[in-house]
Amino acid sequence: MLTMSLSGCIDEQSRDDDGDDASVSPSISQVDTSAEDHEDYLSSATNDNLINFNTTIIQNEQLIWSDLIITIAEDDDGTNEIICTNPGQTQSNDCIITEVFGNGDNYFDLEEVVTISENGVDLCSPSSCSISHVILYRDSIRMSDDQPSSISNVYVE
Residue 5 has pLDDT above 90, yes or no: no
To which H or E segment does residue 50 belong? strand 49-59
Yes or no: say if 116 and 72 are a contact pair by the CB < 8 Å rule.
yes
Q: Alpha-carbon distance 29 to 62, whole Å?
A: 10
Judged on CB neighbours under 10 Å (0-12, 13-18, 19+), 87 is middle
| Per-residue model confidence (pLDDT) at position 78 | 63
- What value does the mean pLDDT take over residues 38-46? 95
Q: Alpha-carbon distance 157 to 16, whole Å?
A: 49
Yes or no: say if 97 and 89 are a contact pair by the CB < 8 Å rule.
no
Q: Alpha-carbon distance 129 to 135, whole Å?
A: 17
- Using pLDDT thresholds of 50, 70 and 90, give the confidence band for residue 27: confident
Domain range summary for the chain, segments of one domain joined by +: 2-153
- What value does the mean pLDDT take over residues 49-57? 96
- Using pLDDT thresholds of 50, 70 and 90, give the confidence band for residue 23: very low
Residue 12 has pLDDT above 70, yes or no: no
